[in-house]
């Protein structure tokens, strides 16, 4: 709720049990039921069937399913909930994957859910970034550096955490949102 009060446009709910950021459907619904209108409610899913994703989204009130595993357009189209594929970029060419869709581009790591590693911003030079949400290694201190690329949005998790992985630092959250939205 603090992130929303600070101006967050979307909140992410991690439904991947192996993540330190995992949240149960019940806990997510408790938060989502208190959200004001126009805040996107994003559910992060790893290696789930489309039917499971849709069932969780309906039950909890998720408005966007973040598909954080390798898949194809046929699978994305089979998800009834609006979906956002995640590109786990290893090389420059990867940023063009799902070019016809809005997508989240993050640095590749073995584990799902992000590593806090930063992508090489040179990979985005000359790329239409208007359908890309950038993730990976963003912090309150460096988020302003990505503004010239015209990303649709930015995504942060570990960059606003306290020393305890999975717990957000309210002051970092506030500074990140302020810096991301400043002109």
Portion of the chain with pLDDT greater than 70, in percent: 96
Q: State the average pLDDT for the chain.
A: 94
* pLDDT tens per residue, range 11-62: 999 999 999 899 999 999 999 999 999 999 999 999 999 999 999 999 999 9
Residue 172 CA: distances (Å) to CA of 60, 67, 72: 27, 26, 35
pLDDT at 166: 82
pTM of the model: 0.93
pLDDT at 67: 97
| Rounded distance between C-alpha atoms, residue 103 and residue 85, angstroms | 5
Q: Is residue 154 within a helix (H) or strand (E), and if so which, with residue range? A: strand 153-154
**Structural domains of the chain, ranges and CATH numbers in brackets:** 2-181 (3.20.20.70)
């Amino acid at each position: 709720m603090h992130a929303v009060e600070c101006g967050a446009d979307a909140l992410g709910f991690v439904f991947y049990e192996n993540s330190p950021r995992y949240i149960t459907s019940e806990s997510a619904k408790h938060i989502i039921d208190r959200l004001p209108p126009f805040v996107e409610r994003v559910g992060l899913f790893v290696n789930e069937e489309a039917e499971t994703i849709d069932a969780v989204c309906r039950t909890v009130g998720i408005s966007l399913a973040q598909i954080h595993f390798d898949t194809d357009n046929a699978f994305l189209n089979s998800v009834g909930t609006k979906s956002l594929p995640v590109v786990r970029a290893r090389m420059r060419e990867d940023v063009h994957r799902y070019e016809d869709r809005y997508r989240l581009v993050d640095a590749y790591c073995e584990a799902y859910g992000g590593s806090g590693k930063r992508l090489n911003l040179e990979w985005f030079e000359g790329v239409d970034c208007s359908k890309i949400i950038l993730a990976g290694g963003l912090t309150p201190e460096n988020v302003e550096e990505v503004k010239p690329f015209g990303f649709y949005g930015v995504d942060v998790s570990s960059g606003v955490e306290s020393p305890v992985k999975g717990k957000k630092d309210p002051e970092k959250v506030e500074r990140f949102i302020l810096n991301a939205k400043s002109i």
